[in-house]
A and B are shown apart, each in its own frame.
Chain A
Amino acid sequence: MKKPRLLGRTALTILAAVFALAFVLPTLLTITNSFMTQSEITANYGQVFETAKDGKSYISETINLKFIPDKVSFSQYITVLFRSPDYLLKFWNSVILVVPIVLGQLAVASIAAYGFTRWRGKVSDVIFFSYVILMLMPYQVTLVPNYLVSDWLKILNTRWAIILPGTFAPFSVFLLTKFMRRIPRSLIEAAKLDGSSEWQIFKNICLPQCRSALYSIAILVFIDYWNMVEQPIILLQDATQQPLSVYLSTINAGEIGIAFAIAVIYMIPGLLLFLHGEEYLVEGIAHSGSVKG
């Protein structure tokens, strides 16, 4: 009986390793290739893009996937960080779009979630239910209404067209409400008896206990908006305001080496945030999902 079980476990481990490798390889390729010289990059990938320019095919038989650079070079990074401020400007564009969205969503979601937690009734349940429905809709469904409302508010083609809808996104409200509803009622009542005002209960009692949920939301929202492409393309026509995510998707043949370096720089904030808050992320999602109202 032991042998088949061991075999099954080995097979599963191999399968898991294959999947893990499939996920890790593109990232690994990006990181190692970012340290290659421009000539090595051109030798490896140039053919692919030449073919594409002719409009025949993206895939070239001569593509040469290479993981280890012949010679480690920082020239791509030097170009990105010191010689061409355009890339840094795109990076900054991403930052000034995403940071207000993350902070705004945390503020709006925590206040809304507190409201949904403290004042439960038919009206608030209906509003909460509509939040859930909104959350289930893909972004593409609300894109046109967003466009029309932005136009109506005269914020189209400004950063506010992305920041405002991002700040009021329903997912974080849902997640945080589920989390806050797990806080024992007696804790809030004890705070009341201790002399807390509603604001003090929110600030001193509820928020500190939602630290993991807030961290999870911050990470998820950051990653979501750091990688956004459709919103800036449709709502921000001014190319100088476009974030790095859009730039990365429009990279062309001559810049492929730089694209690797930019991609690595682009990954760093999300990665740092994730590594720093991994524990909170797991805890926050696990607790919010354990649906105990």
Chain B
Amino acid sequence: MAEITLTHVKKIYDKSVVAVQDFNMEIQDKEFIVLVGPSGCGKSTTLRMIAGLEEISEGEIAIGGKVVNRVPPKDRDIAMVFQDYALYPHMTVYDNIAYGLKLRKFPKRVIDQKVREAAEILDISDLLKRKPKALSGGQRQRVAIGRAIVRSPKVFLMDEPLSNLDAKLRNQMRTEIIKLRQRIQTTFVYVTHDQTEAMTLGDRIVIMKDGFVQQIGSPREVFHNPANLFVAGFIGTPQMNFFHCRLERGEEYYVCLAGRRLPLAPEKQKRLAAKAVPPQEIVLGIRPEHVVLQDDGYTGTVEVTEMMGSNLHLHVRFGDDEAVILVPDDEEQDCSLALGHTVHFTFSSDRMHLFSKETERNLELE
């Protein structure tokens, strides 16, 4: 069993710079957790604290029920894949993978068997005699993963392992990691700044900013119910549209945007009423795929059209605001969506996200 518990974990550098602030989380055994956020948000620091490569300023980390604050990295039974792969340049691929086992005094026969098994899983059997400098980025990545899995660790840590690869290889390796996870069944903690990686890999995602945890939830949860403006803007491509407007309440709640009343779906009404949310200035969030072309909606002018393959991204100006609309690619329709054309659109009433302008938190979840 390798559940990880982080309790009030804090990291302060040089007595003043707070890198991680009050991190609390329980990671279940065999769960795949992704820490995601922009540069400097504290995700790598958190991972390094779990690995034991960074001292914890406050709080407690437990792996498999045992507090490991003072346990050295080699005794935590964890393996880590680094962003730059960290392969030993003077050793062959075989020796790189076998090194950890040799240090743990495994018999030679067992080492050989385990190395060859790992190499087979990762399809690098023919590279075992090569040195790292004779490998491509993708091959190095596989060797780094091989070095980690060969020890069958309780916890598998990955620090932006795909960020040095080109887009095509990154997609390929992402799939490989998903397959690997199904095969080796262990606890994963994965750090990335790429929200697509986070959404596709994680059972749960931890979104961080400036050292603070913004939201923890499943990919679906954070996508459909973002806890605050930051999460809403960070998760999803293209980014969510935001409009400054006002939440009003008559018999029912509605939103006033650009002189129009936008009704809200019954479930949203219920949630707002249950929390007795008062009328206020808000930020309305709506994902581009939830903006629908409709004749009796808002009128705007197409400023930019981006052809993305299966769909189009329209950048539409209406009044002082700009909205991005995602529409399926349709050759006949495309002519009417060209640069400078006028389009009419509205927002799906059940897909609108309401954020307090003051606290930036989601009013339905607050």
Contacts and interface: CB of A to CB of B under 8 A. Distances in A.
Contacts of A209: 89-90
Contacts of B78: 193
Interface string A164-207: 00000000000000000000101101111111100010001100
B323 interface: no
B53 A194 contact: no
Interface of A: 184, 186-187, 189-196, 200, 204-205, 208-209, 211
Nearest to A187: B86
B64 interface: no
A193 B88 contact: no
Contacts, number: 52
Nearest to B104: A195
B80 A193 contact: yes
A187 B87 CA distance: 7
6 contacts: A189-B53, A190-B86, A192-B72, A193-B78, A194-B100, A196-B74
B335 interface: no
A190 B74 CA distance: 10
Closest 9 CB pairs of A and B: A194-B100, A190-B86, A186-B86, A195-B103, A208-B90, A195-B74, A186-B82, A192-B73, A193-B73
Contact of B99 (A186, A194, A211): A194
Contacts of A186: 82-84, 86
B99 to A, nearest CB: 5
Contacts of A193: 51, 53, 73-74, 78-80, 100
A189 B104 contact: no
A194 B147 CA distance: 9
Contacts of B79: 193
B80 A200 contact: no
Nearest to A211: B90
Contact of B103 (A187, A189, A194): A194
Contacts of A204: 99
A200 B103 CA distance: 9
A208 B95 CA distance: 14
Contact of A192 (B74, B84, B88, B104): B74
A238 B90 CA distance: 47
Contacts of B99: 191, 194, 204
Interface in B51-96: 51, 53, 72-74, 78-80, 82-84, 86-90
A50 B29 CA distance: 93
A184 B74 contact: no
A211 B89 CA distance: 12
Contacts of B80: 189-190, 193
A184 B84 contact: yes
Nearest to B82: A186
A239 B88 CA distance: 50
